[in-house]
Amino acid sequence: MRVVGLLCVVLGLAGCVSAGAVSQSTSALLDRAIDAAGGETALRNARVLAWEGEATVFAGDRTIELEVASEVVPFERARSDSWLRSAGRSTLRTLEIDATGGWVVRDGARTPMEPSAVVHERAQYAVYGLMRLLDLRDPAVAVELLPADAAGRRGLRVQHPGAPAADLYFDPTGRLAYLLDRVPAPDGKGEIAQRFEFEGSIDGAGVHWPRTIRILQEARPYFELRLRRFMPRNR
């Protein structure tokens, strides 16, 4: 730790940190983001993230319109129900992910997912834990201040043991603007570059959450989620 700190001073790296050691400027940006998201108390009580809304999946030349209801315990488990908006709940499909594996439930049949698909989905749902921000204060998480982007937005590079490395950028008010990461492909062959874009705001139990979450994969539209209700809770 002393060597890292000395190098930061000698080299003048304002954002140079290691797990368990966060620079003052990095901490200030994270504190501001936590305040903008509703504050430490509200986020600490939001151990379970739940929402309802609608989604669009961009599948090549097709778009698939869905209704969704999801519940995520960051870095632990996730469940998401989805069904075709045009056909109703008769098309219900449930995705379940936890520490032991992943399953798809349809018409009463619970089918295990391929291991590579489970790894992919765990990485995707881990993003919601990063968005909750409080875990970024954990000593096991390495956080580094990034240079401002072309629009002047400041960012944090985050290496969390339960998520792919990610760059989080914030608007001038401290709200999340976008997130960049790379996740394992669901077929286990290579990685996929992603950009999450956040728009609007929806409040639940004192937490300010993005109303729209848009995902681009390899710079192409992949998924857009639009929330109607956001219902975080403590358990």
Contacts of 108 (CB under 8 A, 6+ apart): none
Is 6 among the domain residues? no
The two tokens of residue 233 are: 């809770």
pLDDT at 15: 43
Question: What's the rounded mean pLDDT across residues 103-111?
Answer: 97
Is the pLDDT score of 16 beyond 80?
no
Is the pLDDT score of 8 beyond 50?
no
Is 85 among the domain residues? yes
CA distance 133 to 207: 11
Burial of 156 from C-beta contacts in 10 A (0-12 / 13-18 / 19+)? buried
Is 5 among the domain residues? no
Q: How confident is the model at residue 11 (pLDDT cuts 50, 70, 90)?
A: very low
Is the pLDDT score of 216 beyond 80?
yes
- The pLDDT tens digits of the residues spanning 135-191 come to 999 999 999 999 999 999 999 999 999 999 999 999 999 999 999 999 999 999 999
pLDDT at 23: 83
pLDDT at 5: 39
Is the pLDDT score of 206 beyond 50?
yes
pLDDT at 22: 60
pLDDT at 14: 40
| Strand-pair category, 176-184 with 191-199 | antiparallel
Is the pLDDT score of 2 beyond 50?
no
Is 46 among the domain residues? yes
Is 176 among the domain residues? no
How many CA atoms lie within 13 Å of 106's alpha carbon, on the beta-carbon side?
A: 9
CA distance 166 to 54: 26
Is the pLDDT score of 4 beyond 50?
no
- The pLDDT tens digits of the residues spanning 23-61 come to 888 999 999 999 999 999 999 999 999 999 999 999 999
pLDDT at 100: 97
Domain of residue 76 covers 15-156+182-230
Is 175 among the domain residues? no
Is 177 among the domain residues? no
- The pLDDT tens digits of the residues spanning 114-144 come to 999 999 999 999 999 999 999 999 999 999 9
Is 235 among the domain residues? no
Is the pLDDT score of 17 beyond 90?
no
> How many structural domains compose the chain?
1
CATH number for the domain that contains residue 108? 2.50.20.10
DSSP-assigned letter for residue 48: B
Is the pLDDT score of 112 beyond 50?
yes
